[in-house]
């Protein structure tokens, strides 16, 4: 007979449950750049104005699969947020505090 999730969960160590919760949150947080812009209730035109670029360039940005960290940081900051870069390993997680700005200066 199959066990209920609540019964299985009760037998798991708290660290395993917390790890699963973090992984779930990370998977749910994955979002495309255009979806992020829409979630922040911004049009391409509004974001372009904040970035000091043309709307067509925002469209191109949203279709790219690869970004410079500084470009992504500029876009996130233009939306009112902060970009944090984290390196995850099986045994540790590190927040990288030095993310290059577009002008080449360290953060």
Q: What pLDDT is stored for residue 27 in this prediction?
A: 63
pTM of the predicted protein model: 0.62
- Identify the pLDDT of residue 52: 96
pLDDT above 90 (res 85): no
Residue pair 96/73 in contact (Cβ under 8 Å)? The answer is no
What pLDDT was estimated at residue 80?
Answer: 95
Architecture of domain 9-96: Orthogonal Bundle (1.10)
> Tokens at residue 35, please?
């979806």
Q: Residue 97: its pLDDT value, please?
A: 76
Does 51 have pLDDT greater than 90? yes
Burial category of 34 from C-beta neighbours within 10 Å (exposed 0-12, middle 13-18, buried 19 and up):
middle
Nearest to 3, CA basis, from 107, 58, 11: 11
User: Would you give the distance in Å from CA 86 to the centre of its chain?
Assistant: 10
């Amino acid at each position: 007979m199959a066990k209920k999730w609540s019964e299985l969960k009760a037998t798991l160590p708290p660290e395993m449950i917390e790890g699963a919760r973090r992984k779930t949150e990370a998977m749910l947080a994955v979002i495309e750049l255009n979806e992020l812009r829409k979630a922040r209730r911004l049009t391409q035109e509004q974001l372009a104005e904040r970035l000091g670029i043309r709307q067509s360039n925002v469209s191109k940005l949203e279709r790219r699969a690869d970004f410079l960290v500084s470009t992504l940081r500029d876009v996130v900051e233009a939306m009112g947020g902060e970009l944090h870069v984290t390196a995850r390993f099986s045994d540790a997680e590190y927040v990288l505090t030095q993310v290059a700005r577009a002008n080449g200066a360290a953060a």
